[in-house]
Amino acid sequence: MRFEGKVAVVTGGANGIGRATAERFLGEGARVAILDREPEAARAWLADAAAGASAAVIACDITDAASVDAAIAETLGAFGRIDALASVAGGDRPVADEFDEQHWRDIVDLNLQGPVRLIRAARAALLESRGAIVLVSSVNGVAAYGEPAYASAKAGLTLLAKNLAVELGPSGVRINVVAPGTVRTRVWDAQEGGADAMRRLYPLDRVGEPSDIAAAIAFLASDDASWITGVTLPVDGGSLAGPAHLLGGRIWGD
């Protein structure tokens, strides 16, 4: 019960990693504000959650500053404080021209400027509680996996966290980043073979589950990580360690 008596805010909490993160915080005793553009989807799963009474579902679009400000204000109205901010919402979309200017604006706005809006809106509350911020990036923001607009936006979260770690650290606020590899979410449902088509890239011989990422987020938001700030933690089944599909087990081969 690491978060008993504390309040967590989770964006993108209706589905996937965001939902798993909200469930993790609730399971560890937090009261949770679930921010999402699909509030009804969040309410649907909360109806079956044992800790659902400890959650508030708030409509929020992180690409809209007024929406973010209103959501944070509603969170403070409901719970009175914010101890942890988990910025999970983000994503990419297929595009014919990887360098289309509007595509870059949209992707950077969602994946980099969106978290900035959240931090700005919640900053005063986090300073008061000496709270923790966790941003969700991607292995795409650490190494070359393609999708340059998405990768560049996610890479920006690492330097955002480093700068804010230095700025906010003396006030007791920590900020860290998790960088997931392939995770079994609805994004992969329409892909041939689903998320498991990427399994060969991972030394641990499986793709990630939303709960894997939620566990890392909860750790970094908790007092167990009280001397960790400004860090980007890969949660990637070992994919950044090396090309598992090329080695083929030959290190320990016959």
Quick check: 100 and 22 in contact, CB under 8 A?
no
* pLDDT tens per residue, range 215-234: 999 999 999 999 999 999 99
Kindly list the catalytic residues: 150
Q: What percent of the chain has pLDDT over 90?
A: 82
Q: What is the pLDDT of residue 252?
A: 47
Quick check: 84 and 221 in contact, CB under 8 A?
yes
Query: Could you tell me the strand order of the sheet in which 84-87 lies?
Result: 55-59, 31-36, 7-11, 84-87, 132-136, 174-180, 232-235
Q: What is the pLDDT of residue 247?
A: 56
Per-residue b/e over 175-211, b at no fewer than 16 CB within 10 Å? bbbbbbbbbbbeebeeeeeebeebbebbbeeebbebb
What are the φ and ψ backbone dihedral angles of 227, each rounded to 5 degrees?
A: -115, 30
Q: How far apart (Å, rounded) are the C-alpha atoms in residues 42 and 23? A: 11
Model confidence at 253, pLDDT cuts 50, 70, 90, reads very low
Q: What is the pLDDT of residue 98?
A: 86
* pLDDT tens per residue, range 105-136: 999 999 999 999 999 999 999 999 999 999 99
Q: Please compute the mean of the pLDDT values over residues 32-41 and round it to a whole number.
A: 97
Model confidence at 254, pLDDT cuts 50, 70, 90, reads very low
SS3 assignment, position 232: strand
Average pLDDT, the chain: 93
Q: What is 115-179 written as a DSSP string?
A: HHHHHHHHHHHHHHHT-EEEEE--GGGTS--S-HHHHHHHHHHHHHHHHHHHHHGGGT-EEEEEE
What are the φ and ψ backbone dihedral angles of 36, each rounded to 5 degrees?
A: -160, 155
Q: CATH 3.90.1490.10: does it fit domain 7-252?
A: no
* pLDDT tens per residue, range 47-63: 988 777 899 999 999 99
Strand ranges in the chain using DSSP code E only, listed in sequence order: 7-11, 31-36, 55-59, 84-87, 132-136, 174-180, 232-235
- pTM of structure: 0.93
Residue boundaries of the structural domains of the chain: 7-252
